[in-house]
Amino acid sequence: MQKRTYIFSTLFLSLFGALVAQETDNIGTETVTVVKPYSPTVSDAFKIKSAPNLNDSIVLQKKDINYSIFSVPVASTFTPAKGKASGVEKTPPPTLYNSYASVGLGNYNNALVDFYTSREFNRGEDLLDFGLTHHSSRGDMDSTPLDTEFYNTKLDASYAKKDRYMDWGASLGLQHQLYNWYGIENGEFAETTVADMDEQQNYFNAEAKAYLNMEDSFFKKGNILLRRFWDATESAENRVVVNPTIELPITEELITIGLKLDYLGGNFKNASLNNTVNNEEINYSLFQAGVNPSLLILRDDLTINLGANFVFGMDTENSDNNFYIYPAVTASYRLLDENVIAYGGIEGDLKQNSYHDFVDENPYVSPTLTILPTDQQYIGYMGLKGQLLSNVGYNIKGSYTAENRKPLFLLNPENLFRDDESSYYYGNSFQVFYDDVKTLGIFGELNVDINRYFTLGINAEFYDYDTETDNPAWNLPSIKGSVFMDYQINDQWYIGANLFYVGERDDLLAVAEVGATPSEFPASIVTLDGFFDANAHVGYHFNEQLSIFVKASNIANSDYQRWANFRVQGFQALAGVSYKFDF
């Protein structure tokens, strides 16, 4: 009890003392001056993470809410017009067939046969082709007492394979040609002499070719040719040509090196008709090895190819060897995009002439030729080409050529001292005459593509010849020209035509004499008239596979002479049918 009274007394006295002190102590007022300005600072705040880790033992889970839309139809008076897509006319793709056959017959007993088939293997990587062509005529002409029939049959087979980085192929070809030395006018020789003549000549050709093209390799491409050519008079010729090409890119330029190995060898069993005695053969063996380096420079609209042609030629039969250096420079410059392109160049080569090539140009040559290469010292040219309009193209070129030993076809002299088995010594066959010729030429061409169905073209050539012997350039015309046209009238009908003109040519009629040189033979120059020849064709497609056609040749029915004493057939018409199919 006393303890509790003590506690209350103490508390009372403390409270009373505090009240008395508050009443008696007067602190008063005082002004406080702050000398330092206030510079509040904000301490770096602690950034709360957007996705803090929760350590609560109980974490609330989001509740899935499922909802659906309640659609209520709304009445509307708007009715949109129904649209229709615009139709596009589609052209059906053409049907491709792997085989083709054509047969035609006409007057003069003319016949034409053409067959071709192609087979693909391994999804188009391998291709096997076969082709057969035949053109013949067994009709006679009133201008000569000799047979004028001819025919030309050729069979080809080829195989090609294409890989990712290279493609290669090989082919075999067989050909048989029959021609007659019919260049004798009626009444020129006695009937008994004509009856004893054997004017027929047969040519045979067998050749194999191969090629190889490569990508991403310094060896770019290569070609090889093996050929055997012979005739019915025991003349024969062999040829081997190898042409590899190497490309070496250096910085931004490209260096191309072309190589050439060319061997030609053959013989004629009969001597030249400039000899009155047939007592010796004509043998020839020619070999060429050449290198053609060139540098290709491309600069915007300018293209320049700088090169040279080095050729070593060997005539082993005559023990004559020569080394030749020829220019090989070409250039082109776009003056006005595709409208005007200026181009030019100067080139040269040692051209390998052959019996095979002479027969291709003139099948009435005698099997008594001298085979020599042509030294094409230089062929300089310059011109303009381009487009006058989007569908009109043009090409104008001037050239100047210097050639040594240029082959010219010249009539053989009438040599009745000979008694060869074949009758080509009555002035009815041709020899090859070599002359040094300089030629100035002008060429112009115009092509018009009115649309994809109609094309028209015209070209003309003018030449001036200067020969070393001061003789005319035998059988070379000063003027040549042609006009051609093709028109696809509709899906069924198509027509075409061509007209060409060859100007006057000069030839020599001579008679051989015993003990005289060819320059001493009695001779006279004969000038062959220029001639026009018009040809046309028309065809009709029944469907994608079956078609018929008609061809007309020498529509003017002219009996012009393409070669001296060799007149052509008159108006010729040939009708036929062609068919495409899968074989």
- Sequential DSSP letters for 423-481: ---BS-SEEEEEEEEEEEEEEEEEEEEEETTEEEEEEEEEEEEEETTSS--TT--SEEE
Among 409, 405, 324, 417, which Cα is nearest to 366's?
409
In this structure, the number of other CB atoms found within 10 A of the CB of residue 376 comes to 20
Q: What is the pLDDT of residue 13?
A: 41
Using the 8-state DSSP alphabet, how is residue 233 labeled? T
Cα(274)–Cα(276) distance, rounded to whole angstroms?
6
Q: What is the pLDDT of residue 87?
A: 62
| 407: CB partners within 8 A, 6+ apart | 353, 358, 372, 374, 432, 433, 434
- Average pLDDT of each block of 10 consecutive residues along the chain (583 residues)? 44 41 46 52 49 50 63 60 64 80 95 95 88 94 93 96 91 97 93 94 98 90 97 97 93 90 97 93 96 92 95 93 96 92 97 97 97 97 93 96 98 95 96 97 94 92 96 97 94 95 97 93 96 96 95 94 94 96 88
Q: How long a stretch of residues is the chain?
A: 583
Residue 61 phi, psi (nearest 5) = -95, 140
| 346: CB partners within 8 A, 6+ apart | 327, 329, 378, 379, 380, 381
| 212: CB partners within 8 A, 6+ apart | 166, 167, 168, 221, 222
Sign (positive/negative) of CA torsion 146, 361, 243, 237?
positive
What is the DSSP annotation of 235-250? -EEEEEEEEEEEEEEE
Distances (CA, A) of 379 to 77, 352, 396, 524: 86, 16, 16, 32
| 104: CB partners within 8 A, 6+ apart | 110, 111, 112, 113, 549, 551, 574, 575, 576, 577
Q: What is the pLDDT of residue 36?
A: 52
Q: Give this prediction's pTM.
A: 0.82
Q: What is the pLDDT of residue 216?
A: 83
Distances (CA, A) of 244 to 117, 172, 219, 262, 572: 30, 20, 8, 12, 45
- Cβ 414 vs Cβ 428: under 8 Å: no
- Cβ 527 vs Cβ 505: under 8 Å: yes
